[in-house]
Amino acid sequence: MTITEDRGTEASAPPAPFYDEDHEAYRASVREFLRREVVPHYDRWEEERLIDRAAWRAAGEAGMVGLAIPEEYGGAGMTDRRYRMVFSEEIARANTTSFGVGLGLQDDIITPYFLHLANEEQKQRFLPGLAAAELIGAIAMTEPGTGSDLQGIRTSARRDGDDWVLNGQKTFISSGIQADFAIVVARTDPEAGSHGFSLFIVETGMPGFERGRKLDKVGIAGQDTAELFFRDVRVPAANLIGEEGGGMAYLMQNLPLERLGIAMASQASCQAALEWTLEYVYQRTAFGKPIGDFQNTRFELASIETEVDVSRAYLEQAILKFNAGTLTTVEASKAKWFISELQQRVVYRCQQLFGGYGFMLEYPIGRAYRDARIQTIYGGTTEIMKEIIGRDQAARYKQR
């Protein structure tokens, strides 16, 4: 049997590569920045559970944050998410996950609220500081006892003259210790259901705004996480983001980008773990030959590489759809749950091939194993992602 060319059909052009020269030039900048400003200090940050503010400012000076912020506010004006994917890949390669999570919070979660919802005064007040990484922000959604159930939020805000008076508690707040401000989700109308929530910018120094413990996490230790408390905090009406009552809709609009960012980080972690393991198994010997020459090792790594390549294909399409403004919530949810769950399997299986050395934190696979666990939890658990997809399926097929 031979395969012949169909002469009657003009051959289609090969697909364009995912990255171009500009992306690779940016990669070189990110790699050098991490080598110079992050890697030498990273172990200390992990021990102290806090990243130096100087490193944030260095990231701002080097153009590592604020990519999507328009130039008029001090940013790069680059909305192409492939640059953020390059950043994720280099973070994974350098095994500096805590630093990547911190900067990802700024670019994927905090900044979009100001770009899409803030008025001009708010943009002028916050975007230049975010672009320069002189301001660190947090998003305060989760509360004790609510988890993924945002409708159960109890933090409240009531109008009092030109202010809102805020009361409540938040937990698991990334960057909560260092944040100069937090975007706080609060209930403003108990009778309005999903339309009864609003978003407020609560700034450091406002009386009644207090930080609790620096939480001790299983992984990504260097990225500070905290409890936040609000006791009769008077928030100026000028610090309301968007419209009163629009908070829940705004959260839903921004969550797909957060979930895409998590999927990107998970994919980058899978690729890094695979590369570390391939290098290791052909250096480590057992029974007189490299362990990579044993059939079980080859089969395992062949399976892993195939799974990583397949998930990469879906993720690249999701990123390009986001760039085109067509990525749906369901598509982002699929990417988030599938690739974050794949990360758990890949890192676990790769760690197994390292043997006892894989349990040592001096080896990158040990840290990757520890840091991977949160990926299926934050940004919406795997179960929540499947519920979103399942509801979409029901809506499509119940109409038939």
Catalytic residues: 258
Q: CB neighbours of 302 closer than 8 A, spacing ≥ 6? A: none
CA distance 80 to 78: 6
CA distance 353 to 346: 11
CA distance 138 to 180: 8
Query: Are 65 and 78 spatial neighbours (Cβ–Cβ below 8 Å)?
Result: no
137 forms bridges with which residues in the sheet? 181
Backbone dihedral region for residue 243 (phi beyond 0: left; psi -120 to 50: alpha; all else: beta) = beta
Query: Are 170 and 184 spatial neighbours (Cβ–Cβ below 8 Å)?
Result: yes
29, 32, 104 from 63: Cα distances, Å: 9, 12, 13
CA distance 78 to 86: 13
Residue carrying structure tokens 């799974």: 307
Residue carrying structure tokens 């409890």: 227
Length of the chain: 400
Written in H, E and C, the secondary structure of 120-175 is HHHHHHHHHHHHCCCCCEEEECCCCCCCCCHHHCCCEEEEECCEEEEEEEEEEEEC
Six-digit token pair at 306?
Answer: 């195939």
